[in-house]
Amino acid sequence: MKMLKIGLIGYPLKNSLSPEIFKIFSELTGFKISYSLHETREKDLAHTLKRLRSAGWTGVNVTLPLKEAITGFLTASDQAVFSVKAANTLKFDKNGMAGINTDTRALSDTFREKKFTVKGKTAVVWGAGGAAKAALWFLAGNKAGEISLHNRDTKKARALAAEFSALFPKVVFKVRRFTEKSEKADIFINATPVGMYAYGRINAIFNRKAAYCDLAYLGDETGFLRSARMACAKTIIDGKEILVYQAARSLEFWTNKHIAEIVKFKRETMKRLTIQDSGSKI
Ligand code: NAP
């Protein structure tokens, strides 16, 4: 079998878990995978892509700060990338480069696994960056009724809410300050680094019935998810689960092979993964 040459571009990359995740994927699937990290700043993006393509790479995962800039190089993309203008996975092909957003797919995967439906529900999202866009796409695309966006920079949040409101006119969007106590809701998603490598507090309302999803993650549990667990919340989604699902969706995209039992695949990967805390706990 031909070696799959893939990796990650962005800056900085030193704490990336992706090499370990893809090593486990290689053990689980039998694919021969060479996964390496290429620290790339935006000004060097065109050059890096050209170099990797000519070295026979299949594709790359893309992280901060390149998720938006990469869309300018794509010749094909899925609807999420086209609408939110952010991609995190690309594949080189004979026509150019195709891009997808596996964060949005991973959110769908985790909520589906936990059997938590979004239709008609109210949601609160903290953040207005790339991860928040993925969360909004997932929530609005699954017909959430109302979404409140909490962010430090409320101007940025308002612009994002307006953008999504135009895409999903039936969903009600509200904007709040980051520190403001959230309203009661069915779904709470943290899409900021708070609890991981940034200080702060996710000011949610905790109860048994709501779903709590933290895109930030630690080796252990984040403070946000600990509070949810202490409130006996039944649906808790750890950022590590999203991380593994989005990587699995990238592998599918590069190999054109469907991972039929993706839930089992994710669970087995999580069992084998060792995560060192790279940031602070709240
Ligand atoms: P980003 O585009 O840089 O956006 C960061 C967002 O977090 C902004 O809205 C920013 O607010 C907010 N923020 C940053 N520091 C903060 C602080 N100290 N207090 C309050 N808000 C703060 O980053 P991103 O791509 O959206 O990623 C956000 C987080 O999600 C990161 O921790 C990333 O690791 C995580 N993530 C995880 C996965 C996964 O697979 N688990 C996938 C994607 C992202 P302002 O706009 O006010 O500056």
Q: Assess whether the C-beta atom of 130 lies below 6 angstroms from ligand 1.
A: yes
Identify residue 67 by its one-letter amino acid code.
K
CATH no. of 116-239: 3.40.50.720
Q: Which two tokens stand for residue 98?
A: 């195709």
Whose CA is closest to 215, among 207, 206, 205, 225? 225
Whether 141 is in the pocket of ligand 1, judged by its Cβ within 6 Å, is: no
Q: Which two tokens stand for residue 132?
A: 């928040």
Backbone angles phi, psi at 118, to 5 degrees: -105, -25
Instruction: Give nearest CA residue, ligand 1 atom 40.
Output: 243
Nearest CA to ligand 1 atom 38: 215
Specify the pLDDT at position 279: 47
Ligand 1 mutation pick, 125, 215, 222, max ligand atoms within 8 A of CB: 215
pLDDT for position 278? 53
Nearest-atom index, ligand 1, CA of 152: 47
pLDDT recorded at residue 276: 62
Alpha-carbon distance 274 to 129, whole Å?
27
Q: For each of the chain's 282 residues, which pLDDT tens digit applies?
A: 689 999 999 999 988 899 999 999 999 999 999 999 999 999 999 999 999 999 999 999 999 999 999 999 999 999 999 888 899 999 999 989 999 999 999 999 999 999 999 999 999 999 999 999 999 999 999 999 999 999 999 999 999 999 999 999 999 999 999 999 999 999 999 999 999 989 999 999 999 999 999 999 998 899 999 999 999 999 999 999 999 999 999 999 999 999 999 999 999 999 999 876 554 433
Q: What's the CATH fold of domain 4-104+241-277?
A: Rossmann fold (3.40.50)
Number of residues that this document lists for the chain: 282
116-239: same fold as 4-104+241-277? yes
**In this predicted structure, what is the pLDDT of residue 15?**
81
| Domain range list for the chain | 4-104+241-277, 116-239
Ligand 1 atom 18, closest CA: 198
| pTM for the model | 0.95
